[in-house]
Structure 1
C-alpha cells in the first residue's frame, strides 16, 4: 500500500472516531506540514501509524483546549510531536505568545508528555537528519527501531550517545567515568562495538596501540 492510500485511511479512521470540534480541528488542522512529516519522517522510521493520534486534544493550564499536531503512545509513555514553521512559531510570535508557548510545553511535560518539536524546514529539506534524531530519542524507550541484525543493547546505545556528546573521539577513560566501569570492562565494551561495526579503532600510526575509537557515521541511521 502506498503512502497516499495509507495516509487517507489513517485520517479517515480518526475522523470516524470524532465528533464536533475535535473532528473539525482534524479536518482543518492536519495540513501540508503534518502530512509531510508523516511521509518524510514517520513512515521511514516506523512504516505504519500505530499508536499515532493526529490533532490530539489536551486541556492546557488555562483550562482551554490545545490541539497538538500528533500524540504518539508507546505503552504507558506519551509523546507530543509539534511541527513548527518559522513564520507561525517565530516570525509572527510576540513576547506574550512566546511565553504562552513555553509555559504550555512545560505544562505538557508536567502532565507526563514528552514534547518533541521539529522544524518544518528540517522535515522538508533534511528529513534523514530528523529520522536519525527521532530514532535516537525513541530507541531509549523500546528494544529496537531497527532490524534484528543491527539491534543494540542498552550499554551500546549509551556509548553511542556518549560519543556524540564528546568534542573528540571516544576513549576508554570516557566510558570508565560515565558508567562507571573499570578499564578492562570499558575496553571490552569498545572492542565489542568495533566487532559489531559501530566504532572504528584509531591508530596514531600503523601498529600502535589503540587509544581512541571513532563513531562510524554510516551506522547512525540504524541507531
Structure 2
C-alpha cells in the first residue's frame, strides 16, 4: 500500500473518532505543511503512521484546549511536533500570540512532551536534513521502549527477523530451517505469526498460490530489535 492510500486511511481513522471542534480542527488544521511533513519526512523514516496523532488536543497552562500539529505516543514516549512557517509573529506583528506559543511549548515540556519544531521551508527545500535530525532525536526515545518492543516477539521470532535483515529483507522458509535447525512446520507457524504482527508479507509463486518466500516489512522501530 502506497503513501496516498495509507495517509487517507490514517486520516479517516482519526476523523471517525472525533466530533465537534476536535473534528473541525483536524479537517481545517491538517493542510499542506502538515501533509508535506508526513509524506516527505515521517513516511520515509517509519513507513507507517502508527502512534502518530494529527491535530492532537492538549490543555495549556490555563486549562484551555490547544491543538498540536502532531503528537507521537509509542509506549511511554510523548513527542509534540509543530510545523512552523515564517509567520507574522516572526516579524513582531503579533507579539501576544508569539508569547503564548512559547509558553505553550514550555508547558508541554512540563507535561512530559518532547517538543520538536519543524521548519516549513526545509520541508520544501531540504527534507533530507529534517529526516536526519529527526532520526537522531527519536532514536533515544525508541530505545526507551526496547524491552517493551522485544517482548511482543518470541526468541525464535526475533531470530527470524534478524536473519531476514541480513538477507536484504527476503527470506525463504528453507533458510530458516537450515539456520535455526527447526522443522518446516514450526517455521510456518512462526512465519504466520510474524505476518499477523505486520513484519512479513508472503510472496506467492508466479501464477500459483503457494508461498515461495517472505518479504520483510521494514520499520524504523526495528532498531529496538537488532
Q: Give the TM-score range, shorter chain.
A: 0.5 to 0.7
Whole-Å separation in 2 of the counterparts to 1:80 and 1:135: 15
Describe the shift of the 1:93–1:83 C-alpha distance in structure 2 as closer, same or farther (beyond 3 A): farther
* Alignment pair present for 1:124 and 2:124: yes
- The unaligned stretches of length 5 or more in structure 1 are 150-222
The offset of 1:95, in angstroms, is: 2.3
The offset of 1:100, in angstroms, is: 1.0
Whole-Å separation in 1 of the counterparts to 2:40 and 2:92: 26
Map of 2:191 onto structure 1:
none
Whole-Å separation in 2 of the counterparts to 1:127 and 1:42: 10
Name segments (4+ residues, structure 1) moved above 4 Å.
none
Q: How many residues align?
A: 148
Whole-Å separation in 2 of the counterparts to 1:114 and 1:35: 21
Map of 1:86 onto structure 2:
86
Whole-Å separation in 2 of the counterparts to 1:39 and 1:88: 26
The offset of 1:51, in angstroms, is: 0.4
The offset of 1:107, in angstroms, is: 0.4
**Cα RMSD after superposing both structures:** 1.9
Whole-Å separation in 2 of the counterparts to 1:93 and 1:110: 28
Map of 2:114 onto structure 1:
114
Map of 1:74 onto structure 2:
74
| 1:136-151 superposed matches below 5 A | 136-143=136-143
Describe the shift of the 1:24–1:34 C-alpha distance in structure 2 as closer, same or farther (beyond 3 A): same
Whole-Å separation in 1 of the counterparts to 2:59 and 2:67: 8
Describe the shift of the 1:6–1:91 C-alpha distance in structure 2 as closer, same or farther (beyond 3 A): farther
What TM-score comes out, normalization by structure 2 length? 0.62
The offset of 1:77, in angstroms, is: 1.1
* Alignment pair present for 1:45 and 2:28: no
| 1:172-183 superposed matches below 5 A | none
SS in structure 1 of the partner of residue 141 of structure 2: coil
**Could you list the per-position Cα deviations for residues 82-127 of structure 1 after superposition, in whole angstroms to 9, with x for gaps in the alignment?**
0001025524653222211111100000000110001100111100
Map of 2:180 onto structure 1:
none
Map of 1:65 onto structure 2:
65
Map of 1:104 onto structure 2:
104
Native 8 Å contact 2:34 2:83 kept in 1: yes
- The unaligned stretches of length 5 or more in structure 2 are 147-161, 167-222
